[in-house]
Structure 1
């Protein structure tokens, strides 16, 4: 007997947004690029037997929420931005696990980028 694993994994890769992030005067004045990589896990048992969007986690609407949130706010710390994006994703009760990594390109001399990654997991009894 085959037991099907119905946990699905959505990956949003290289979502490039512009926002204010940082503590230096130039960073406060000017928007800069940030790059988001997001992993979301959820139970897809209804979706794999359906053709209706209501039966799945709508990653398009989650992505739009993230875009509106990041581009519409100012952040002093990359850690805070990462935490708040993660919290926004976890507001969706269908989400079992999420990880958010945000890169700030060229934040350090000689480095392509600096990134912060945070994750959260919903307990089965939640």
Structure 2
């Protein structure tokens, strides 16, 4: 039987951090919005109802919050990559995607966002 893939989605996690290269961005926190999708095999969790058989999305989210709130970032690429590293570090994760929006980064746009994706390499 093919393993069942579960998808954890963290939607619209709204945080504030220092991000950017302009003086006002360096000196003032800005809002960011994080969306993450984490795919993992959930066969054990589906039948056991035991937290140790599942990925703990609360733990993942707390780690993302600590990263964002306790650091400064010049580039959205770097921040997105660091969040993706957290989302994908558990060995059960097959695929993870992270998108981070920086609202009002451009004058006539709602936001600018950057997405990165991780896929676990399978050994042949």
Tell me, which stretches of 5 or more residues in structure 2 are unaligned? none
**Shift of the alpha carbon at 1:125?**
2.4
Q: How many residues align?
A: 124
Map of 1:87 onto structure 2: 85
What is the alpha-carbon distance in structure 1 between the residues aligned to residue 25 and residue 90 of structure 2? 31
**RMSD of aligned C-alpha atoms?**
1.4
Cα deviation for residue 89 of structure 1 reads 1.8
**Residue number in structure 2 paired with 1:76:** 74
Within a 5 Å distance, the mapping from 1:41-56 to structure 2 comes to: 41-56=39-54
- Counterpart CA distance in 2 for 1:73 and 1:93 is 26
What are structure 1's unaligned runs of at least 5 residues? none
Structure 1 position 113 matched with structure 2 position 114:
no
User: Superposed, which structure 2 residues align to 1:27-46 within 5 Å?
Assistant: 27-46=25-44
Question: Is the partner of 1:100 in helix, strand or coil?
Answer: strand
